[in-house]
A and B are shown apart, each in its own frame.
Chain A
Amino acid sequence: MTLAPAPPGADRRRPQLADFRARCEDVAGVRLDEPGALHDFSVQHPERFWRTCLDWAQLPWSGSADVVLTSGDVQSARFFPDVRLNYAEALLRPLPGAGDGAPAVTAVHADRPAERLTRGQLREQVALAAAALAGIGLTDRDRLVLIAPHGVPAMVVALAAAALGAAVSTAAPDMGALALLGRFEQVEPAVLVLDRTAMGEATVSALLDGLPTVRRLVVLDDLPLPEGDPTVDRLADLTAGAGPSPAWDRRPFDHPLFVMFSSGTTGPPKAMVHGAGGTLLEHVKEHRLHGDLGPADTLYFHTTTAWMMWNWQLSALAVGAHVITYDGPVDGPQTLWELAAGHGVTVFGTSPAYLQLCQDDGYHPAAHLDLSRLRAVLSTGAVLHDWQYDWVAEHVGPVPLQSISGGTDIIGCFVLGSPERPVRRGRCSAPSLGLDVAAVEEDGTEVVGAVGELVCRNPFPSRPVGFLRDPDGSRFHASYFAAHPGMWTHGDLVEFDADGSARLHGRSDGVLNVDGVRIGPSEIYTALRGVPGIADAMAVEQRHPARPGASRIVLLVVLREGVVLDAELARTIRRTLREQASPAHVPALVAAVPELPLTHNGKRSERAARDAVNGDPVANAAALRSPACLQAIRAAVTAGPAATADQDADPLLRAVTGLWSELLGTGEVGPDDDFGDLGGSSRQVLSLLRRVRLDLGADVPVQAFAADPTPRGLAHAITAGTAGDPAPLLRAGSGRPVFLLPDAWGQLNLYAGMVEQLATDRPVRGLRLRLTGPDGAHLPVEEVAAEAAARLREVQPDGPFSLAGYSFGGLVAHAAARALTAEGREVAWLGLLDVRPPRAALSAREVAAQRRAARLRTLLSRRALEAVRRRLRRGSTLAGRPPVGPVDPELAFFTGSEAVGDSYRPGRFDGPVTYFLAEGSQRHVRGTLGAWRRVTPRLRVVDVPGHHGDLDDERIGMLSARHVGVLAARVSATLA
């Protein structure tokens, strides 16, 4: 029995990739089932791979496929020079599982009902249109420009032109005349096809004036026809009077199919010609092998006719998928999800920006809609952030979120999904089969696990055939092959992991190079995500206004409505970047702008912004959606230094700057200079803070200073410090905070090592609590806990809460957890770090057991206090003088806390409790842990190394550097 290849997508459980692999294994004679093996085969044996791909896909072609590849040179190699095919024929032919009656396209509109065409109906319409276009003289030597919304007429015209062998170049009608001419003037089209409904009359006449090669204008709309030259016809009239459809000739593999445009970061957009065979083969490969797309699928990729995803989606007809188009507005987060649910979309393609819009609006698609048909979400156009994977998992459903990335330049993808690879948050799953894609250093050496320039090191079929208006190919060479000889350099930054998964890091021309350090702007954007008030941001490099040859970072921010960029927000931005990225990521200037420069494709143009901040002419202004934003950027950047001058007039900042100069013995201190950069030592920090206390009357903790060690940061800490943050952030993160309760000294310092090593993305906060009343007497644990609960709620209004405390702090944590649950709030995690049961909680037997413990030391006991005194005396004796005065007041404070702790009677808490029992406390606690078990039925005990860390105990404590790593790991493992 001869096994016919399985029809595309016929068996969902077995991806088409598996079938294809089996075919390749036959060809290769080896197993290719190891992860990455098939990709290795595809790049090591390109001739066998692409030949197998062509055969397996059962595309209609004639001629000979004996010559697969003419050379190994990525710039000049040609694929299948003797193969002839027709793109339209390949897309519209009846397929197994997708015959003429199967749905081909459903065009959805905002203002009228959807239209649906079967594959047979679509082929008929394309045939009619082809006959009409042939009738007005369109030939396979011509190019056709099509400006229409994403809908059935645009597909029909494009396929009709392709059937005739004319190259097609498309754009959306809402683009301005200047942008349209910037693209199409180079195309020199013979026929112009317009849908004028969404175009201004002025745009239409500007197009006709600017495109003198147009012999015939064809309109898709019902608006009145203009008089004069060139001749204007309605497509409907032409098809009605057309003769029989001409034959759809098969033409060479590289015959022009599409003329596409790069977004043009330098000069006018590059007009690149994509061949029919390369486009078709690449798209079929991506759809079937990477997307597992087939006749069972309904694909909607949100795009316009101005973006390559339109062409990519069109090619899905070649694998039998049902394509949805939409030409209406996106009114809000629900629009596209409702479309997907309403039309049974199985594969939905969108952008990180749209997913973020949904997340920011708090929209939860799965809560409102039936998305049960959806099996994959694709995203492209920008870098997808980790948290967006979580959002899709939580609010869309258990479908893979596949980040795909490539470009117009290759009309396809370099990295994308794979049906056999798991999706890792924030990453594209696999390199495109047949493409030897890698990240390389400047010298061309490959890097794995680090960010490098994205290159493709071997020939691939969807490389453009060439550029228009580039007779000697020099622009083509300069665009892709000059940076790394023998490789296609794409202009993106990427990082590959050893498993082949990849993360894009933005355009490499968006990379900031500040004093030789390459900074990926995506790191800046990720950090800024945590700053409320910022809707969008763009970091660009500016020539330093004062230091020739040097450069600095300018950060442009788009603020949310009602938010103002004041000194406070600018500080928050700087501090966030310093903490979460690095000091090198801190911008020299932050400027608020109403809008960022976006190209018509919706891509961010760092290049335009960079030209604007440097005051240079913007080369690609015509490629921008709203060139007016450039003027606003120039104005904001010019105004920036003035705003800084205002802040310098701030007397507090002036005073602080003065103290710095004095202490460091340096004359020039700027408000944003780093203490360390000026030569300040840690010892001098303490001298500085003393002066601040004496001269300015503010007590600034070292930690607060270290968070932003600049005069501006110190001035801010002074302003904020007088009130004191009751819930200081000990470590930044996202999600619900983990709260730590202060020890018997009222301090949080002891947690520093643990905070540093906790394996969690969540923020960690400490609580500052009043342990004594107005009379100086210690407050009962319950009262301290009541304040703790109130502070917790201020930071986090609703549960579930996570909190922990060491020793005395653990008692407060327990009481606070009780207070929170009494209010009906959930406490998800209560961590007790070696919190010995208070004396008051012990039964008589337990007290006896405790007495028997060999090394019983409670700090309340006289012995402990005596031991401390003895140590103090010892030190003093060495210094040659007896101790002076009564008991140390700080020690008295500590023992006071311990006393109220020991009189605390823990009440019942039914939530989960994790007790971290120090190894050294085991004997001590044995026989008394029952006191905790009685009131916390869900107590779980986790052993940790080290001793309790009593004041009078020189043995190494559980929170000491030596043991804190294990403690932090165990706390992290149980954290909820």
Chain B
Amino acid sequence: MLLVTATPVRPGPLDADVALWLVDLAADDDALTAAEARLTPVEVARAHRGTPAVHRRRVLLRAALRSALGSELGIPPGQVPIGTSPAGRPHLAVRGSLLDVSCSASGAVGVVAVGRGRRVGVDVELVAPWSSDVLDEGWLSPGERRALTGLPVTARPLAVTRCWTQKEAVLKATGTGLRADPATVVTPVGRATGAVAGWEIRDVQVPDGWVASLAVTPEEETPR
């Protein structure tokens, strides 16, 4: 078990501009109850609309997001004012705040990223077995498709999942999500870091079997 609420991970001193938290989405029911108590009625209601697994994920991830922002601000998690863009992107509803936030979940692993003066997007995915179907799903650019098929079969599951997390991280950072075409976000297939569409891409250390990527604005950027 990772922990009851959320753990900060420290991928390295360079990342002091982004605080990263890992969330154990397999936490026990006591943890779930405790987490739910930190949410607003609207958040609880939204969580309840999902299946039991979705409910658990939404509650724990949202509570972790509140904890992460609360620890940045030094206020109780339940009091963090969180707004949501029309596209569903959460943000700290404090005028002029320099904090930006993004979160993601896949299976038992959740990740929350808090950008300090940086706009951030994070995505975590469970590495799935390779299937050539993905080449046909329309979200890879022609170059990415070629690069992936050029890899040894054993390297492809991780590569294609990482490719997705990088795209998704960028699209979450921009705030458009999948309303923008993921094929237009071209990633450096086979690399865990780099620059994609003006965003700095970083690797996030997550348990084996998962891969996570973080998109961050370059240094001089001030988030909206």
B interface footprint on A754-766 (CB within 8 Å = 1, 0 otherwise): 0010000000000
Smallest distance from the beta carbon of A731 to chain B beta carbons, Å? 8
CB neighbours (8 Å) of A679 from chain B are: 50-51, 53-54, 57
One of A686, A871, A876, A878 near B138 (C-beta < 8 A) = A686
Residue B178 contacts which of A687, A702, A747, A888 (CB distance < 8 angstroms)?
A702
| Choice from B49, B125, B189 contacting A879 with Cβ under 8 Å | B189
| A960 touches B (CB below 8 Å) | yes
For window 173-190 of B, CB contacts with A under 8 Å fall at: 173-182, 184, 188-190
Give the residues in chain A near B57, CB-CB below 8 Å.
679
Query: Which residues 484-542 in A have Cβ within 8 Å of B in the complex?
Result: 514-518
Q: Tell me, rounded to whole Å, the shortest Cβ–Cβ distance linking A451 to chain B.
A: 13
- The answer to whether B174 touches A961, judged by C-beta atoms less than 8 angstroms apart, is yes
Is B178 in contact with A516, judged by CB distance below 8 angstroms? no
Q: Is A828 an interface residue (CB 8 A)?
A: no
**B44 at the A interface (CB under 8 A):** yes
What's the minimum C-beta distance from B126 to chain A, rounded to whole angstroms? 9
Is B51 within 8 A of A666, CB to CB? yes
Query: Least Cβ distance of B156 to chain A in Å?
Result: 10
**A749 & B53 in contact (Cβ 8 Å cutoff):** no
Q: Is the CB of B175 within 8 A of A961?
A: yes
Interface: A800 (CB within 8 A): no
Identity of the chain B residue whose Cβ is nearest the Cβ of A703 in the assembled complex: B179
Measured between beta carbons, the chain B residues less than 8 angstroms from A205 are: none
Chain B residues with CB below 8 A from A960, complex form: 174, 197-198
Q: Which residues of A contact B119 (CB under 8 A)?
A: 961
Question: Is there a chain A Cβ closer than 8 Å to B133's Cβ?
Answer: yes
Contact segment of B16-24, B65-73, B108-116, B145-153? B145-153
Q: How far is the CB of A920 from chain B (nearest CB, A)?
A: 12
Most buried by A among B50, B51, B180, B191: B180
B180 and A879 within 8 A (CB) = no
B130 at the interface (CB under 8 A from A): no
Whether the Cβ atoms of B179 and A687 lie closer than 8 Å is no
Q: Which residues of chain A are near B174, meaning CB under 8 Å?
A: 752-753, 960-961
CA gap between A756 and B175 in the complex, in Å: 9
Cβ contact of B180, chosen from A687, A689, A752, cutoff 8 A: A752
Provide the bound-state CA to CA distance between A147 and B191, in Å. Answer: 85
Say yes or no: A683 contacts B164, CB within 8 Å. yes
Q: In the complex, which residues of chain B have a beta carbon less than 8 angstroms from the beta carbon of A703?
A: 178-179
* Pairwise interchain contact B46-A876, C-beta atoms closer than 8 A: no
**Chain B hits for A747, CB < 8 A:** 181, 184
* B221 within 8 Å of A (CB atoms): yes
Give CA–CA (A679, B147) in the complex, Å: 31
Q: Which residues of A contact B181 (CB under 8 A)?
A: 702, 747, 749
Check B3 for interface membership: any CB of A closer than 8 A: no
Given contacts A514-B45, A706-B179, A749-B184, contact A876 B54 (CB under 8 A): no
Q: Is A954 an interface residue (CB 8 A)?
A: yes
B82 at the interface (CB under 8 A from A): no
- With contacts A517-B41, A749-B180 known, is A878 near B175, CB below 8 A? no
Contact B48–A879 (Cβ < 8 Å): no
Measured between beta carbons, the chain B residues less than 8 angstroms from A681 are 106, 125
A178 to B216, CA, bound (A): 70
Q: Which of A937-967 contact B (CB under 8 A)?
A: 954-957, 960-962, 965
Of A284-292, A414-422, A670-678, A895-903, the one with at least 4 CB within 8 A of chain B: A670-678
Asked whether, in the complex, the Cβ of B54 is within 8 Å of the Cβ of A676, the reply is yes
Is A883 at the interface (CB under 8 A from chain B)?
Answer: yes
Tell whether, in the assembled complex, residue B51 and residue A685 are in contact, meaning their CB atoms are under 8 Å apart: no
Does B137 sit within 8 A of A, measured CB to CB?
yes
Is the C-beta of B1 less than 8 angstroms from some C-beta in chain A? no
Q: A517-B45, A683-B164 are in contact. Are A678 and B50 (CB under 8 A)?
A: yes
- Asked whether any CB of chain A lies closer than 8 Å to the CB of B143, the reply is yes
A674 contacts B49, C-beta separation under 8 Å: yes
Number of A-B contacts defined by CB within 8 Å: 137
Instruction: Report B-chain residues with C-beta under 8 Å of the C-beta of A690.
Output: 133, 136-138
Q: Which of B36-86 contact A (CB under 8 A)?
A: 41-42, 44-46, 48-51, 53-54, 57, 85-86
A584: B residues at CB distance < 8 A: 42, 45-46
- Closest chain B CB from A417 CB (angstroms): 31
Contact A875 B189 (CB under 8 A): yes
Interface pair B51/A753, CB less than 8 Å apart: no
On chain A, the residues within 8 Å of B2 by CB distance are none
Minimum C-beta distance from A519 to chain B (A): 10
* Complex: A884 Cα to B164 Cα, angstroms: 23
Bound complex: CA A954 to CA B164 (Å): 21
Question: A687: which B residues are within 8 A, CB to CB?
Answer: 133, 137
Contacts of A548 in B (CB 8 A): none
Taking a contact as CB atoms under 8 Å apart, the answer to whether B150 and A881 are in contact is yes
Interface-central residue, B46, B106, B168, by most chain A CB under 10 Å? B46
Q: How far is the CB of A583 from chain B (nearest CB, A)?
A: 8
Q: Which of B85, B176, B189, B224 contacts A878 (CB 8 A)?
A: B189
CB closest chain-B residue, reference A890: B142
Closest to B198 in A: A956
Q: Do residues B87 and A756 form an inter-chain contact, with CB atoms below 8 A?
A: yes
Residue A655 interfacial (CB < 8 Å): no
Residues of A within 8 A of B42 (CB): 517, 584
What A residues does B144 contact at CB under 8 A?
Answer: 875
B221 touching A878 by the CB < 8 A rule?
no
Q: Is the CB of B188 within 8 A of A752?
A: no
A879 engages B148 (CB within 8 Å): yes
B176–A753 CB distance below 8 A: yes
Complex Cα distance A876/B87, Å?
34
List A contacts of B54 (CB < 8 A).
Answer: 676-679
Task: Decide: A878 and B48 in contact? CB cutoff 8 A.
Answer: no
Known: A517-B41, A689-B137, A960-B198. Is A682-B147 also a contact (CB below 8 A)?
Answer: no
Q: Which residues of chain A come closer than 8 Å to B176, judged between CB atoms?
A: 752-753, 756, 961
Q: Chain B's nearest CB lies how many Å from the CB of A956? A: 4
A67 surroundings in chain B (CB, below 8 A)? none
Given A703-B178, A888-B142, output 19 extra A-B contacts at Cβ < 8 Å. A515-B48, A516-B41, A583-B49, A679-B50, A679-B51, A681-B125, A689-B138, A702-B181, A706-B177, A747-B181, A749-B179, A749-B181, A753-B180, A756-B176, A875-B188, A879-B146, A881-B150, A954-B195, A955-B198
Pull 24 A–B residue pairs with CB atoms less than 8 Å apart, ordered by A.
A514-B45, A515-B49, A676-B54, A677-B50, A677-B51, A678-B51, A679-B53, A683-B164, A683-B168, A685-B178, A690-B133, A690-B136, A690-B137, A702-B178, A749-B181, A753-B175, A871-B143, A875-B189, A878-B147, A880-B151, A888-B142, A960-B198, A961-B173, A961-B217
A interface residues, Cβ below 8 angstroms from B: 514-518, 583-584, 666, 674, 676-679, 681-683, 685-687, 689-690, 702-703, 706, 747, 749-750, 752-753, 756, 871-872, 875-876, 878-881, 883-884, 888, 890, 954-957, 960-962, 965
Interface, chain B (partner A; CB < 8 A): 41-42, 44-46, 48-51, 53-54, 57, 85-87, 106, 119, 125, 133, 136-139, 142-144, 146-148, 150-151, 164, 168, 173-182, 184, 188-191, 195, 197-198, 217, 221, 224
In order of increasing CB-CB distance, the 3 nearest A-B pairs are A881-B150, A961-B174, A879-B150
